[in-house]
Each structure stands twice: as structure tokens, then as C-alpha cells.
A and B are shown apart, each in its own frame.
Chain A
Amino acid sequence: MQRRKMLAALGSVAVGGATAVSTGAFTNVQAQRNVSVNVADDSDALLAFDASSSTNSAYADTSENAVALDLDGSTGDDITSYNATGVNTDALTQILDIFKVRNQGTQAAVVYVNPSSVPEDQRTQTDGFGIDPQASNRPNGDFTKEETVGDDKISLTHIYDQDFPSSTSYYGGGNDALEEYVLEPGESFDFGLYVDTRNGDFDGSFDMEIVADATIVPDSYEGEGE
């Protein structure tokens, strides 16, 4: 892996050099260059989803390369060993630390879940069933909410704020809020789910889009506790 990275770097430096030094005129040049892409399992990716050391990894289905969140007991795991086939009806269920989200890149990034990737009828703030991804054990930001489990737990969709992350209103708003979502290289937080069945039930599945964006880390961000 390390060796492959080095080769890629050398290759691109050489290309850059050729463009800069070139003196002859030409109308059209077509040069093929090899691009090698290594796709890793979720636990080894640049943005890693790693359930190997999580408290509630029983809800993570890691049988495929991409982790899936399994709250219906469809995979043979600890849930089914107690014959549980789902979350409780008419209840609020928090399942924190299903897997770790870890930044294995080289830049700090804002990590969140695209609010519009959660279907409208499955959001906590509507009258019916609601589900919201949660981050806890976060390394950055200064937001705390002491009365609940996981005192630094926040909504990864910014509480379904459809303008997030371009604008923010919760957790201090603006850059102060964005700092809550920052993961520096090597840092991780726990990914969990908040499921509200007090006003409605749900059976099915949907895709949630997890985003890491290094371009929107606020300039004011200075590191831990800011």
C-alpha cells in the first residue's frame, strides 16, 4: 500500500515537470498515463467505517465491503440470538457507537450525513416515524448536552437542516457548529442512530449518504476544543 502511494506520487510529479519544461509547439497530444486506484474495505478506506471495536457493532453488517446498518435482525448476529427482530414500537431508541468513522486521510474534514439522503417521511421531526444518524465521542467542538446518553452526541444531519452544511443554525451556528463535525487525520467519532417510533412505524431500508468534505473546514478551526 505504502509503496503504491509512492509510485503514484512519482508519476504525477513527472507529468507536471513535462508540462512546465515543454518548449515545442503542438496541436494535439494524447498521452495515456496509468492511474491505479485501490478500493479498500470500509475499515481501511481514507474515510473509514470500522465496526471492529464498537460497543454496538452487532447492528453493523460487515459481511460485504461496505458496512450496512442492520436494525431488523436480518443478519445472524447478537440481536437474533435473543430473538429480537427490531426496535421497540412506541419508543425512542438510541443506539450509539455502531461503528467508528475515522479520517485516514491527510487533511482535516467536516464529516456529516447529507440531510436530503434521509427520506422525508423517515425524519425525526415529522409527525411519524423518525430516524437520525448521531455522532458521539467526538474529538472536536465545544457542544455538550449533559442530560442524555453520550453527552457530546449531535445529529449528523444537523437536525435535518436542509441548508446544512452551507449554512448552520444548531450547536452554536456558523463555523462554531461546523467545528463540531471536524475530524482531523487519525481522529474518529462513534456513529450511531436515533430511532423514534412514538408516532409511527417503519419497515424497510434506505441509503444514507455519509460525506467527508475537506474544503469546508472553517478557517477559524484551530484544533481540539475550539
Chain B
Amino acid sequence: MRRRTLLAGLGSLVASGSLAVGTGAFSTTRAERTVSVSVADDASAVLKLEQIGTGGRSIPSGSKVTFSFPGAFASDDLGLGTDSVYEFDTDSGRSVFGDTNEDEQKLGLLLIKNQGTQKVSVFARDESESAVDIEMYDFDGGKTALRKDPATLAPGGEVKVGFRVRTHGAVSGKFKEKLTVVAQATE
């Protein structure tokens, strides 16, 4: 009986102590944590954007891949026809059907690879308000436009894309277009 009382006494002392002193309480905590960041070229970034082919349609210029239609090596006179829909499956000078293994590997104009850690859906947006409309399509997936039907890429997954260019109402001239590639985590 006496022993039990003693224990109860200790118990209440601890309780009041923790109320007053707050063993797990803190007023302010400051913790410095290091953030290190590197900005990578398209080919080695979290979202890998790797150009395919050497014909001058997709160009690895510096840190960013760029594109040119009908191609950087084409003469200035050459262009896309107006009021048309063009599809570019490969860089110029390549057969779509791929005569050799090497050719097979060079199908598509751009390889998009998820080098991150989450499953993402990938689509592209034409940011320029001009008569020329550009979309990316999934080369291996029935040429589905990567707009409302994005490609789903698990970490390590990749998709080869071609380009579809619409020139409805476009007058002849050079168009500078900007395309945004979006990879958005799906969960």
C-alpha cells in the first residue's frame, strides 16, 4: 500500500514536471540544411531530351536541343507548303522503314526519357500564337499527338517522338516557334 502510494507520487511529480518544463517542447528550432543544385544539358537532365539523327532537323545546339523544318541544311528557298499537314518521323536523309539496325535506332526526331523518380505524363505545348501549329507525336504509339493524350513514362521509361506541323493560313516566311515539353507526375 505504501509502496503504491510512493509510485503514484513519483508519477504525478513527473507529470507536473513535464507540464512546467516541457521535456519535448521547444520554442524555436533553426536547422541549416545544404542544397546543392546542378543544371544539366538536355541530354543528361532529369527529363532527358535527346535529339536523334544528323540531318539538321533536330540539332543538339549547346545545352538545348532545337529543331528546324524542313532542316538546317536545306536551301533557303525550300519550305513547307501552306495549308498543309506535314509529319516528320525522322531527320532528313533517313528512311522511315529503316534499312539497317543503325537506321532503326535513328527513327524519331527526339527521345524523351524520364530520368526522375516518379511516373510522369509527357506532353508538348506550342507556345507561339502564329498560323503555324506544331505538335509532338508518339512515334511508336500510332502517332498519337502528345497533347490531350500524353505519353506515360515510368522512371527510366522513354518515348521517341516525331513532329507534326500544320500550316493552315500561313504565308511564306520564317516562323520562330516555341514548344514547351511538360512532364507531370501522375500521382
Tell me the A residues contacting B by CB distance below 8 Å.
5-6, 8-10, 12-13, 16, 42, 45-47, 49, 55-56, 58-59, 66-74, 78-79, 82-91, 93, 95-96, 104-107, 109, 114, 117, 129, 131, 149, 185, 193, 195, 197, 201-215
Contacts and interface: CB of A to CB of B under 8 A. Distances in A.
A206 B34 contact: yes
Contacts of A16: 20
Contacts of B14: 6, 9-10
Contact of A210 (B31, B64, B116): B31
Interface stretch (B21-29, B80-88, B90-98, B143-151): B21-29
B130 interface: no
A204 B156 CA distance: 26
Given A82-B156, A86-B38, 7 more contacts: A12-B17, A56-B118, A82-B115, A84-B115, A86-B39, A204-B36, A208-B33
A93 B22 CA distance: 41
Given A9-B21, A59-B117, A87-B45, A68 B63 contact: no
B8 interface: no
B172 interface: no
Given A84-B45, A210-B30, A107 B25 contact: yes
A205 B27 CA distance: 29
B27 A214 contact: yes
B13 interface: yes
Interface string B4-16: 0000000001101
Contact of A83 (B17, B44, B47): B44
A193 B184 CA distance: 15
Contact of B28 (A78, A201, A212): A212
30 contacts: A10-B13, A10-B17, A13-B13, A46-B24, A46-B26, A49-B31, A70-B36, A71-B35, A79-B117, A82-B115, A82-B155, A83-B115, A84-B45, A86-B37, A86-B38, A86-B45, A87-B40, A88-B45, A89-B45, A89-B63, A107-B22, A114-B30, A117-B32, A149-B184, A193-B35, A205-B37, A211-B28, A212-B26, A214-B26, A215-B27
Contact of B35 (A55, A109, A206): A206
A5 B36 CA distance: 36
Contacts of B34: 66, 68-69, 205-208
Contact of B29 (A89, A93, A211): A211
Interface of B: 13-14, 16-18, 20-42, 44-49, 63-64, 113-118, 155-156, 184-185
Contacts of B33: 49, 66-69, 207-208, 210
Contacts of B114: 82
A42 B32 CA distance: 11
3 tightest CB-CB pairs across the interface, nearest first? A86-B40, A72-B38, A205-B36
A56 B117 contact: yes
Contacts of B118: 55-56
Given A10-B13, A13-B13, A213-B27, A106 B22 contact: yes
